[in-house]
Structure 1
Amino acid sequence: MWASIVAVAGTLAGVGLTGFTQQWIERRARRREHDREVRAQVSRLLKAVLRYRELHWLFVQDIRDGQRETREHRVARYRARSEVTEALDELALTTGDRTLLEAASTAAWHAIGLSDITLGPVRRRRFAPGVEARLAAGRGRTRDAHSALREAGHAYRPRR
């Protein structure tokens, strides 16, 4: 009889251990998948921010060169802004990590904020000194925010 009890207990313990191991493996796989998804969203946002900044600086240079903004240019810039916002929203829906989301918001809004700098008239392919200073400061802010987001994405660790 004791042999039967030991056999049943051993079987139950084996089933319990197997179930626990299977759950642990599944949770670990879900965490890895979530980590990959968050990193992919960070990468998407970095690319969208970079694209927006690229279009903005091309626009600024075009104005310095005496060109006027066309509807096509405006559509491209607005589309790029929407891509930044969409990527930021998707990241926010994917993770609740405050550090990462703060870096993401800062990078996105600093980039979009470049368009708030009023350019004004051009003389000798330059804007007024105050405008040039605001553009230089904006360039620095967006670079720093972009780097901070990249670093936050690299440092991201999902909650256990």
Structure 2
Amino acid sequence: MWASVIAVAGTLLGGALTGLIQFRHERAARADRRADALRSALGELVAALGDHRRAMWHREDLRLTGASPEAAAAARAASHATRSAVTAPLVAVSVLEPSLAEPARRAALAAFGIRDATDHTALAAHREAAIAATDALVAAAGRALA
């Protein structure tokens, strides 16, 4: 009889241990998938911010130099496309790692703010501020992922 009790107890403990190990393994795998998704979204966001900065620089440079209306319209359309490309990775980063939501938002707003410069010096200052905000996002992401 004791042999049967020990066998049943061993079977139950073995099943519980197996379930615990599977639970921990799945939790670790879920964390790995989340970290991979965050790294991917961060890469997409930083690239989209860079593309938008370049498009806005070009657009504003054309405006400041008095380019043709056709060239200005094409640059405006390109900047609208690059601005739209920022939205999805910005949301993904903010949802996947809430501590990065504010630095990501500041980087996006700085890139969006490259407009209506009074001269090339102001345009360069806006661009540098946008680069600095993106660098701050990257630094914050490094701390969050460490």
Give the TM-score taking structure 1 as reference length. Answer: 0.80
Q: Does 1:72 pair with 2:74?
A: yes
The letter for the 1-side match of 2:143 is A
Q: 1:64: how far off?
A: 4.8
Count of residue pairs brought into register by the alignment: 144
Alpha-carbon distance in structure 1 between the residues aligned to 2:145 and 2:98: 9
The letter for the 2-side match of 1:91 is V
SS in 1 for 2:113: helix
The runs of 5 or more residues in structure 1 that have no matched partner are 120-126
Change (3 A) 1:118 1:57: closer
Q: Which has the higher contact order (CA 8 A, sep 6+)?
A: 1
1:4-153 matched pairs, under 5 angstroms: 4-68=4-68, 69-92=71-94, 94-98=95-99, 100-115=100-115, 117-119=116-118, 127=119, 132=121, 134-153=122-141
Alpha-carbon distance in structure 1 between the residues aligned to 2:111 and 2:38: 21
SS in 1 for 2:114: helix
Pick the structure with more helix per residue: 2
Alpha-carbon distance in structure 1 between the residues aligned to 2:66 and 2:113: 23
Give the TM-score taking structure 2 as reference length. Answer: 0.87
